[in-house]
Amino acid sequence: VGNAVNPTAGWEAQVDRALVEQARHGDREAFAVLVHQVSDSLYAVAYRILRDPGLAEDALQNALVLAWRRLPKLRDPDRFEAWIHRILVHACYDESQRARQWKATIRVIPMDGPSIPDGTSVSADRDELERAFRQLTLEQRAVFVLHHYVGYPLVEIADLLEIPAGTARSRLHYAMAGLRRALQPSSELVEEGRLA
Amino acid sequence: MTDDPSLERAARSWIETGPTQAPDQAVDTALQRIQSTRQERDLIPWRLPTMNPILRVAGVTLVAAIALALGIYALRPTSNVGQGVPTPTDQSVATPAPGLPSAAVTAPIPNGTYRTSIPVADVLARLDADGSLTPAEKTAVIDDVLGIRGASVLNVEITVADNSFTVGLSTDSEPIKPGSSWKLYNLDASTIAVDIGTKSSGIQAYRVTRTGLTFALAAVSPAEAVETFVRSVLFETAPFSPAT
């Protein structure tokens, strides 16, 4: 479940429960220490969902401020990581929505022509993955990142995002399907009747 | 999750590329914003996980004992319990019953909205003198629970509506902000219990002293230090009068 190399795998050891408890009781200095412990990981997750450093910064800031505000309502300090990831994902949704509103009147014209993957170029594959990932919905991206980057099991993602487990599974399925299409040579797609 | 391991490997490898360090400026800005951001707390933050189990058991036992005593009281032939809830405009309730000493009224708090105002300087002086709270708890009470830093008056508003008990707070600089609505039980003419939910310590009991249309509350169930202080400020400092 999840990948072996992920930046948040050691969170349980990194996050000091005593700090969470102190911050819950209003200790700003304790929360500042917590922020320094978790902000790199949170930013990495936000960037991977939003694919934009500016939006990821804003999402991180808003998530941290919201986490501070809501921390007294966190019932179980042992659930801090999952709880702050939920806040972050929702902050990512909000940022994306805000960005969409700003860009609503701008028609995006691709700089490059359509690229044709040759199936061997790693760089081309990465470009295609990037393009395909951006076509996914935010909800699909979030499940993909939480599962394949952070390493959460799907059941935990469902719990974290407060969605049914089947929905989490389906979002991941569609995300993978989207990426698969991006990596398939165009000839295969034509054969499969996906490009008509 | 997928039957294509090479795709999964490629996707995982791709998603790992990218920044792994938050820009310092973003973190600093967040910390600056946090300095001026107040935490959201329940107005009276009783919580099961942090409440001393002995206190919780004692509270439940106390409430049960009160309920039992009041059950016996209610069964008396002369009891007036269950005759309906009067309203603030019901003068028959405001008038003391014949034979009662002074102006005390024995009847449930009528439906309506009641207010009291408390000088913040008094709260701060009491907080300063309180030896049971830590400095961090005192700061939290000022900034997060009561939100009275920089204010001169704290207004407390209680709305009673049949079986609900809603507490709102405001200061001279902020409008009333209604808090959670709790279940209200009239245990007898002079004792109420408020059930503040399963996520907290449950039921808190208060003795009610009514004089005309005003009433005063005195907590009779135990609580931890912060809760004891907060409820003493909100409910026990001054009597509540009907909001005009």
Give the mean pLDDT of chain A: 80
Contact state of B11 with A129 under an 8 Å Cβ cutoff: yes
CA distance B242 to B112: 7
pLDDT in tens, B45-99: 444 344 555 655 666 566 666 666 666 655 555 444 333 333 343 333 333 334 3
Rounded mean pLDDT of A68-91? Answer: 91
From chain A residues 100-119, the ones with a CB under 8 A of any chain B CB are none
CA distance A20 to A71: 8
Residue A123 identity: S
Residue A29: the pLDDT is: 93
Residue B169 identity: L
Considering only residues B174 and A34, tell me which one the structure prediction assigns the higher pLDDT.
A34
Give B169's pLDDT tier (boundaries 50, 70, 90). confident
> Of A150, A142, A128, whose CA–CA distance to A171 is shortest?
A142
Interface test with B, best of A1, A49, A148, A154 (most B CBs within 10 A): A148
Give B218's pLDDT tier (boundaries 50, 70, 90). very high
Q: Residue A110 pLDDT > 60, yes or no?
A: no
Contact state of B1 with A65 under an 8 Å Cβ cutoff: no
Top-ranked range on mean pLDDT: pick from A44-48, A160-164, B128-132, B155-159: A44-48
Which residues in chain B touch residue A148, judged by CB atoms under 8 angstroms apart?
A: 8, 11-12, 15
Which residues in chain B touch residue A75, judged by CB atoms under 8 angstroms apart?
A: 47, 49, 199
Contact state of B7 with A183 under an 8 Å Cβ cutoff: yes
At B214, give phi and psi (nearest 5°). Answer: -100, 160
- CB of A79 within 8 Å of any CB in chain B? no
Residue B114: the pLDDT is: 93
Q: Residue A45 pLDDT > 60, yes or no?
A: yes
Contact B175, B195 (CB under 8 A): no
- CB of A66 within 8 Å of any CB in chain B? no
Place of tokens 């009528």: B110
Give the mean pLDDT of chain B: 75
Contact A59, A66 (CB under 8 A): no
**Among B4, B19, B39, whose Cβ lies nearest the Cβ of A180?**
B4
Query: Distance from CA of residue B3 to its chain's centroid?
Result: 55
